[in-house]
Amino acid sequence: MMVATAALSLMHGCVRYLSDQLDVYTISFFRNLFGLVAVLPLVLKNGINSLQTQKLPLHALRGVTGILAMLLWFSALANVEIATATALSFTAALFTTLAAVIFLKERLRLRRILAIVVGFAGVLIVLRPAGDSFNLTALLVLGSTMFWGTNIVIVKTLSATDRIASIVAWSGIMLTLLSLPLVIAFGAWPDTNQMVWLLVIGGFGTIGHLCITAALGLAESSAVMSLDFLRLIWSVIIGVWFFADAIDVWTLVGAGIIFGSGLYILIREAQLANQKKVSVPEL
C-alpha cells in the first residue's frame, strides 16, 4: 500500500506537469489505453470467457462515471495544488457511503451521519470558501470524487455476479472506448517526449492499482486504507519540490479531518459486517 500511494502520487505529479502541454482528453485517453494494455495479460491468462457478464449496461455505466471522474480529476490537477486536490480526494469514502444509501438502499445510521458531517466540515476547512485563497477549480475534485464514489458502489454490485478479471477488463475497455471520441474531437497527438510521459503516467497508474489490489488481498481493508493518508505526504513533497507549491497548514488539518471521518466509516462498516457473520444484532 505504501508503494501504491507513492506510485499514484507520482502519476498525479506527472499529469500536472504534462497538463501544461496537453489537454485532459489526450492524457485521459492514453492513460486508459495503456491501462487496457496492462490488463490484457490477465484476460489472456483467464481466457476470453473471463469477459462474460450478465450486466453489460452496468459496466457501461461504470465506464461513464469513471471517465467523468477522471476528466474532472485531471482538470483539477492542472489548476489546483496537488496537496489540496489530494486532501479533497479523501471525500470519496463519504460519497461512496451516500451513493450506497441512494442506490443500494443501505441504512444510514447516526454514527455514519455524524462522520459524514464531520468529513464535510473538513472540506470547508480545506476550501475556505469565504477566504481570499478560495479556488473555485477545487470544486472539480469534489465532482470527481462524487462520480468515483458512485463507481465504487457499482463495483460492489458487479462483484456479486462477475469475476474480478471481468470487472477489471471491462473497466479498461469502457474507459478506452469512451475516451476515444473525446480525444478525436478535442485532443491532440502527442510528440515523442510527451508520449514517454504518457507511458510513465500509465505505468505509475497500473503499478498503483495493482499494489492496492494486492494489499487488499493480504490484509483487512481498514488496515490497508489507513495508509492511504501517505498520499498527502507524497503530494506535499512533490508539490513543494517540483512545482514550488506553498504548504498550507489548514489544508493539512482539513485533510486529516476528512480522512479520519472516511476511515471511521470504513472501520465501522467492517465491524457491522463481522457482527452479521456471527449473528450479533446491529447497534
In this structure, is residue 250 part of a structural domain? yes
In this structure, is residue 39 part of a structural domain? yes
In this structure, is residue 283 part of a structural domain? no
Q: List % helix, strand, coil for the chain (3-state, nearest 5).
A: 80, 0, 20
Q: pLDDT category, 24, cuts 50, 70, 90?
A: very high
pLDDT of 133 higher than 70: no
Domain count, the chain: 1
pLDDT of 174 higher than 90: yes
Q: pLDDT category, 21, cuts 50, 70, 90?
A: very high
Percent of the chain, pLDDT > 70? 94
- Report, as an integer, the average pLDDT of 74-92: 90
Q: Average pLDDT of the chain?
A: 86
Q: pLDDT category, 266, cuts 50, 70, 90?
A: confident
In this structure, is residue 282 part of a structural domain? no
Report the candidate in 180, 214, 191, 190 with the shortest Cα–Cα distance to residue 32: 180
The answer to whether residues 174 and 110 touch, using CB atoms and an 8 Å cutoff, is no
In this structure, is residue 94 part of a structural domain? yes
In this structure, is residue 45 part of a structural domain? yes
Q: Which residue has the cell 443500494?
A: 104
Q: Look at residue 131 in the predicted model and tell me its pLDDT.
A: 64
Indicate whether this model's pTM tops 0.85.
yes
In this structure, is residue 229 part of a structural domain? yes
Q: Look at residue 42 in the predicted model and tell me its pLDDT.
A: 75
Q: Look at residue 279 in the predicted model and tell me its pLDDT.
A: 45
151 lies in which domain range?
2-277
